[in-house]
Structure 1
Amino acid sequence: MKIENAQGKNVQSMVLGDVEVIRVVEWQGPLVPARRFVPQSTAEMWKDNEDWLAPDHWHPGSDNAVVALQSWVLRSGGRTVLIDTNVGNGRERPGSPHFHHWQGDFLGRLAEAGVRPEDVDVVVNTHLHIDHVGWNTRSAGNTAGSGAEWVPTFPNAEYLIPAADDFHYGPENGYGNGRSEDDRLLYEDSIAPIHRAGLAVRWEGSHRIDEHLTLEPAPGHTPGSSVLRLASGADRAVFVGDLIHSPVQVLHPSCNSCFCLDQEQAAASRRRILERAAAERELVVPAHFGGAGALEVRKEGGGFGLAGWAAYDEA
């Protein structure tokens, strides 16, 4: 596994052991004020690391964090596994202005990667937030929004859904315990149709996908927030979802994002995952990092430091 700087492209790939890893980027850019994004961070944390945070992770001029909307495709054991499905087009998300009626070209980007919807065997939702489950479904006709009929985008796939999140965000818990209208809308257009189609697999404890890939819980960001571990040959990687939103949280793992529901539990999960990644030289693959999108970490003081960015094969 070679680690070096890499410039962003829409589709990139690397091989870890016997698993091909394909990064599919739908969008990347400045999105949220940095200290609103990571409220426990300080201006100094960003400024002191400007030389490597900018421009891929922080835009100093606007003081906005840079965010990527992306998914990861794993070709493992003869099957195609898709990790997270971004925002989805034409969704009613009134509480999330950035994503309300979003229109992107996610399926076109998957096609660039050589992946058709019917080719996907497994969909992994690391957690049930709006920017991770949107393309679970698509409109059955030409309509979107409140009048749409939503059907599974990946008709041949099993969808692996953390049971704790399915309960929390579903009708059993009053759609996120009544936290927001977006939670109800998310469940009804992106999760409930998967259940109705008989494609949903609720898992808890841990879930082995194949000899190389295993899902494990890492709660805090959401009740069912999870990570996917890859182990093949001498190579290791951990796809951490939203456990880490910004490299600032690698340097200061006690800092949570503004989206973490259980702050104490999220920080504990983050430190635990980073401790193991540093000890075992796992490539850390967060859901929203710009630039190379993935990194190796090392222990450094009371936190962790950058050991190197992911490198991709030449196109």
Structure 2
Amino acid sequence: MTPTTAQPETTAAAPTGWDLGDVVIHRIDEIALPPQTGPWLLPGVTREVIDEAPWLRPDFADADTPHLASHTFAVEIGALRILVDTGIGNAKTRANPAWNDLHTDYLQRLAAAGFPPESVDLVINTHLHTDHVGWNTRLSYGRWEPTFPRARYLTSRTEWDYWAAADMDDSRRQMFRDSVHPVRDSGRFDLADVPEHGHEVADGVRLIPAPGHTPGQVAVEIRGTDRSALITGDSIHHPVQLSHPHLTSCVDIDPDRAIRTRNQLLAGLADTDALLLGTHFPHPTAGVVRSHRGSYRLLAEPNTRTRP
């Protein structure tokens, strides 16, 4: 994301989780992104656009600026522990000052939710952008080592192949050196072929192709005994894109494809009880999609967890 002049604030919301029956999804906070991020990332989101969706205020936007956050989702399925995306990470050299050399308590929050690093079985990277792979690794005695020593790390083969052939700038090459290549070199990095109907990675967990933001991005469908949920990756950056699905981000590689993907995902979720969980949606983060005035809106469900 765009360079900013100040470090973002660490988020301080209470622990949040959603019960799907036999599955629990936890939101693990990293940081609230600076106010400048919204206008840069979503330049089409003006005050007038927000005015057309008053349900966005006060949680998802203020008078004229969308709010954004960085968090990950930790999923309990029986004894299986899955982490979807890994945020920005600590002690990483980044071109964006708001992301550079962070020192957050993310790992402590993850452990408090019942996910100490050694307990994680699978890490899913929805795509290989800096703010989705950062905690893949942590600094140990001057070397970048996989943060989750028992886990397999997974992304789509299409995503990997795209970046392997891309002419990357220095900052993106640095991100691959400190957050992706050490996992690959450890032998813990796997690639999944994700066809149109999706790819089942565990019982109740399916990767759904969500191209546009990047060519091989996936969303993650989680199915419990009571209901299902969809974790967006960056196919939907902000709830304003429910009311205005045509609004694209300035970092979408294929904006037209991103719009088609977003419309397809929202149409499948609309007027069902399935939860939509946004990777950059600020608190309350999740909700159900409802048809609204020829488009959609989000009815928030801040926390449905009932188990200790």
TM-score (normalised: structure 1): 0.87
In 1, are the aligned partners of 2:126 and 2:219 still within 8 Å (CA)? yes
Tell me how far apart the structure 1 counterparts of residues 190 and 242 of structure 2 sit (CA, whole Å).
Answer: 32
In 2, are the aligned partners of 1:10 and 1:109 still within 8 Å (CA)? no
| Structure 2 match to 1:76 | 77
Of 269, 288, 294 in structure 1, the residue corresponding to residue 286 of structure 2 is 294
Tell me how far apart the structure 1 counterparts of residues 86 and 73 of structure 2 sit (CA, whole Å).
Answer: 9
- Kindly provide the CA deviation profile for residues 251-291 of structure 1, in whole angstroms up to 9, marking residues without a partner as x: 01111122211100001000100100115432111101112
For the structure 1 residues 125 and 159, does the alpha-carbon distance in structure 2 shift closer, same or farther, using more than 3 Å as the test?
same
Tell me how far apart the structure 2 counterparts of residues 33 and 183 of structure 1 sit (CA, whole Å).
Answer: 19
Tell me how far apart the structure 2 counterparts of residues 225 and 31 of structure 1 sit (CA, whole Å).
Answer: 26
- Kindly provide the CA deviation profile for residues 193-250 of structure 1, in whole angstroms up to 9, marking residues without a partner as x: 1111110111122331222111121000111111111122240111111111111101
| Structure 2 match to 1:262 | 254
1:309 equivalenced with 2:296 (yes/no): no
For the structure 1 residues 140 and 34, does the alpha-carbon distance in structure 2 shift closer, same or farther, using more than 3 Å as the test?
closer
Of 177, 189, 201 in structure 1, the residue corresponding to residue 178 of structure 2 is 189
Letter in 2 for 1:177: D
In 1, are the aligned partners of 2:242 and 2:295 still within 8 Å (CA)? yes
Tell me how far apart the structure 2 counterparts of residues 103 and 85 of structure 1 sit (CA, whole Å).
Answer: 15
| Structure 2 match to 1:177 | 167
Of 49, 55, 58 in structure 2, the residue corresponding to residue 55 of structure 1 is 58
1:19 equivalenced with 2:23 (yes/no): yes
Of 162, 186, 189 in structure 2, the residue corresponding to residue 200 of structure 1 is 189
In 2, are the aligned partners of 1:281 and 1:296 still within 8 Å (CA)? yes
| Structure 2 match to 1:113 | 113
| Structure 1 match to 2:90 | 89
Tell me how far apart the structure 1 counterparts of residues 35 and 144 of structure 2 sit (CA, whole Å).
Answer: 28
In 1, are the aligned partners of 2:204 and 2:223 still within 8 Å (CA)? yes
| Structure 2 match to 1:217 | 209
Letter in 2 for 1:190: S
The alignment partner of 1:177 has SS state of: coil
| Structure 1 match to 2:36 | 32
| Structure 1 match to 2:130 | 130
Tell me how far apart the structure 2 counterparts of residues 192 and 44 of structure 1 sit (CA, whole Å).
Answer: 44
Tell me how far apart the structure 1 counterparts of residues 203 and 232 of structure 2 sit (CA, whole Å).
Answer: 19
1:163 equivalenced with 2:153 (yes/no): no
Tell me how far apart the structure 2 counterparts of residues 34 and 150 of structure 1 sit (CA, whole Å).
Answer: 31
Output the aligned Cα RMSD.
Answer: 1.9
> How far off its partner does 1:35 sit?
3.6
In 2, are the aligned partners of 1:30 and 1:65 still within 8 Å (CA)? no
In 2, are the aligned partners of 1:32 and 1:66 still within 8 Å (CA)? no
Gap runs ≥5 in structure 1? 1-7, 142-147
In 2, are the aligned partners of 1:85 and 1:135 still within 8 Å (CA)? yes
Tell me how far apart the structure 2 counterparts of residues 258 and 306 of structure 1 sit (CA, whole Å).
Answer: 23
In 2, are the aligned partners of 1:117 and 1:153 still within 8 Å (CA)? yes
Tell me how far apart the structure 2 counterparts of residues 311 and 105 of structure 1 sit (CA, whole Å).
Answer: 22
For the structure 1 residues 30 and 312, does the alpha-carbon distance in structure 2 shift closer, same or farther, using more than 3 Å as the test?
farther
In 2, are the aligned partners of 1:11 and 1:112 still within 8 Å (CA)? no
Letter in 1 for 2:59: D
**Identity score, percent:** 33
The alignment partner of 2:190 has SS state of: strand
Moved segments of 4+, more than 6 Å: none
Gap runs ≥5 in structure 2? 1-11
| Structure 2 match to 1:285 | 277
In 1, are the aligned partners of 2:239 and 2:297 still within 8 Å (CA)? no
Total equivalences in the alignment: 293
Letter in 1 for 2:243: L
In 2, are the aligned partners of 1:37 and 1:65 still within 8 Å (CA)? no
Tell me how far apart the structure 2 counterparts of residues 72 and 57 of structure 1 sit (CA, whole Å).
Answer: 19
In 2, are the aligned partners of 1:136 and 1:153 still within 8 Å (CA)? yes
Which is further off, 304-313 or 220-229?
304-313
Tell me how far apart the structure 1 counterparts of residues 33 and 162 of structure 2 sit (CA, whole Å).
Answer: 30
In 2, are the aligned partners of 1:204 and 1:217 still within 8 Å (CA)? no
Letter in 2 for 1:58: A
Letter in 2 for 1:93: R
TM-score (normalised: structure 2): 0.89
